[in-house]
Amino acid sequence: MPSVPSINTADRERLLADYPQVFHRSFWQRYGLAVGAGIVAVYLIICFFAFNVGPTFMQGRWDRASLYVQDWYSWRAQPRLRFEEDGTVRAQWSSRGQYPADANISWLQPTAAGGYAVTYGNDDDRLDVTPSLVQVYLGGTAYPVTITVDAATAPEGAPSAITQDGNKVLVDYGFEGQAEIRTGQVYVQRRFIGWANFLFDTKSEFWGRTYGELLVLATFGERIDPDRSNFGHMVDDFLGNNVWQHSDILSKLMQTLVMAFVGTLFGTLVAFPLAFIAARNITPNRAANWFMKRCFDFLRSIDMLIWALFFTRSFGPGPIPGIAAIFFTDSGALGKVYAEALENVDDKQREGVKSVGASPAVVNRFGVVPQVLPVFISQSLYFWESNIRSATVIGAVGAGGIGLKLLEAMGTNADWDKVAYMVLLILLVVFLFDNISNAIRSRLIGQAAH
């Protein structure tokens, strides 16, 4: 057992008398943290029940959740194999059309008997589809699903991947896809990693080529269209991609950036002179200080949402309401921050300039502005960064930009790949601008100050 250092009674009394603040702390000093934590815990428990967290999570459609999340990084081809009158099978594509009309698709091959063979990854997992019988291969074993006018019937003793659902049979190949065998058709769903037709849609000359081929074409290949260089052609086709709408998405992203940039800039320009009026030490007029500060508080306290919706009502959807909303909120917020910075300036420089007989404007120009300008710019840059994120959100309520585009894409519940694409773009832009503004800031105020 380690020896415990001990003290005698006299020492103990002396220590207790000398350091009362250590040994006789008030109730709040001792238990304040515990009491606070307890209150917070009780509050969270109440909220847990008030917001119905448990039941909501239980009733959540988690099967859909995995589907949606898979859609972020993979795509589905969904042909319907319809049984025709003449005993053949015809493949019909949804409107999303990931393949051109006459494409040769390696996983969907017509068979000699007029049916189709659908492979899920390899030949051991495939469907041989004919109007009367679908052979389901699972790991090399065949399970015949017979189809009559009334019902598709799974064989006896089929594994759990094949399920009978009323008169339909569902086949599950895991990530590779599913199939739904009905009396008149087979719904095939085949899933692949990646984003389908991300670069070029099926109408483009460049569709279906490998990156190597594209590189060769772009650099020294024969011109496909004699009027344009191949590279220009590629850029046009990329931006004009009907499925991914690159040009639209990029222009919406640009709108969001413009909203943040112009809104913050105008906010800065308005807040700058007004902050001089609001600062007690610069303008020795209490009424003016008070009035200006209340103006800032008012502008700041009206939520950005209110400004955004208000201006959307008057200017119609687009970047102008976004700019106006950011401008109004930020001139208030920046004004407040600027005024505080001004009130903390060093008076010696002002006195120095004043002592040589300078006018008040000159005193401010040479005695105050050089001190506060780095702080002002640094604050504005912070606001700019934060406004890029805000502009995305207020865009969604109607101010346009990438936010609205995101909301539309999410509303269909089928375009999660496009959502992922836009999220990536937003993350990229936010990181880029964070780094730019960090670089400007550290050049202005030195590494230590932020």
Partner 1 sequence: MADISANNPGGLGSAASLTMRHYQQQLKTRRIYTAISIVVFLIVLGASLNFANNANAGKFFERLPYLFDFITHFVPDSPMEIIRAMFDLQSPYADGSLKYDYTSDRVYLTENFYIPHFLYQLIITINIALVSTIVGAAAAFALCFFASTNLVGAGATRFVVRRIMEVMRAFPEIVIAGLLTAILSIGPIAAIIAITVHTVGALGKLFFEVVENADMKPDEGLRAAGANWAERVRFAIVPQVLPNFVSYTLLRAEINVRASTIIGAVGGGGIGEVFRLAIGRDHAAKTYAIIILLLVSIIVIDQFSGWLRRRLVGEQSFEFGRGAA
Q: Closest separation between CB of residue 29 and partner 1, Å?
A: 12
Query: Given the complex with partner 1, which of 62 and 175 has the nearer CB atom?
Result: 62
d(CA 376, CA 355): 26
Cβ distance 74 to 191 under 8 Å? yes
Residue 230 as a binder of partner 1 (CB under 8 A): the answer is: no
Query: Given the complex with partner 1, which of 120 and 421 has the nearer CB atom?
Result: 421
Segment near partner 1 (CB under 8 A), from 21-29, 202-210, 359-367, 404-412?
A: 404-412
Cβ distance 312 to 399 under 8 Å? yes
d(CA 172, CA 175): 9
Segment near partner 1 (CB under 8 A), from 97-105, 178-186, 274-282, 400-408?
A: 400-408
Strands 152-153 and 122-129: unpaired
- Which of the residues 307 through 346 are near partner 1 (CB under 8 A)? 309-310, 313-321, 323, 333, 336-337, 340
Token couple for 338: 């600027």
Of 117, 161, 170, 265, the residue at the interface with partner 1 (CB under 8 A) is 265
Tell me which DSSP letter residue 366 carries.
I
d(CA 245, CA 239): 7
CB-based contacts of 259: which residues, under 8 Å, 6+ apart? 319, 322, 323, 326, 387, 391, 395, 399, 401
Q: Closest separation between CB of residue 19 and partner 1, Å?
A: 17
Q: Closest separation between CB of residue 324 and partner 1, Å?
A: 10
Query: Given the complex with partner 1, which of 146 and 251 has the nearer CB atom?
Result: 251
Residue 259 as a binder of partner 1 (CB under 8 A): the answer is: yes
Q: Closest separation between CB of residue 1 and partner 1, Å?
A: 16
Q: Closest separation between CB of residue 421 and partner 1, Å?
A: 11
d(CA 284, CA 358): 17
Q: Closest separation between CB of residue 344 and partner 1, Å?
A: 10
Query: Given the complex with partner 1, which of 57 and 211 has the nearer CB atom?
Result: 57
Helices (H), 20-118: 20-23, 27-50, 53-59, 62-73
Distance in angstroms between the alpha carbons of the first and the last residue of the chain: 49
Residues 58-87 as x/- pattern, contact with partner 1 by CB under 8 A: -xxxx-xx--x-------------------
d(CA 267, CA 434): 19
Query: Given the complex with partner 1, which of 165 and 434 has the nearer CB atom?
Result: 434
Residues 17-56 as x/- pattern, contact with partner 1 by CB under 8 A: -----------------------x--xx--x--xxxx--x
d(CA 170, CA 172): 7
Token couple for 379: 């604050």
Residue 295 as a binder of partner 1 (CB under 8 A): the answer is: no
Segment near partner 1 (CB under 8 A), from 86-94, 128-136, 237-245, 416-424?
A: 416-424
Residues 1-20 as x/- pattern, contact with partner 1 by CB under 8 A: --------------------
Residue 339's closest CA among 295, 387, 385? 295
Residue 424 as a binder of partner 1 (CB under 8 A): the answer is: no
Query: Given the complex with partner 1, which of 184 and 316 has the nearer CB atom?
Result: 316
Residue 436 as a binder of partner 1 (CB under 8 A): the answer is: no
What letter represents residue 384's amino acid? W
Cβ distance 260 to 403 under 8 Å? no
- Which of the residues 354 through 393 are near partner 1 (CB under 8 A)? 379, 382-383, 386, 389-390, 392-393
Query: Given the complex with partner 1, which of 152 and 406 has the nearer CB atom?
Result: 406
Q: What are phi and psi of 75, to 5 degrees?
A: -130, 160
Residue 235 as a binder of partner 1 (CB under 8 A): the answer is: no
Strands 177-181 and 168-172: antiparallel
Residue 187 as a binder of partner 1 (CB under 8 A): the answer is: no
Q: Closest separation between CB of residue 393 and partner 1, Å?
A: 5
Q: Closest separation between CB of residue 60 and partner 1, Å?
A: 5
Helices (H), 190-281: 211-220, 230-239, 246-278
Query: Given the complex with partner 1, which of 182 and 441 has the nearer CB atom?
Result: 441
Identify the sign of the CA torsion 22, 25, 29, 33.
Answer: positive
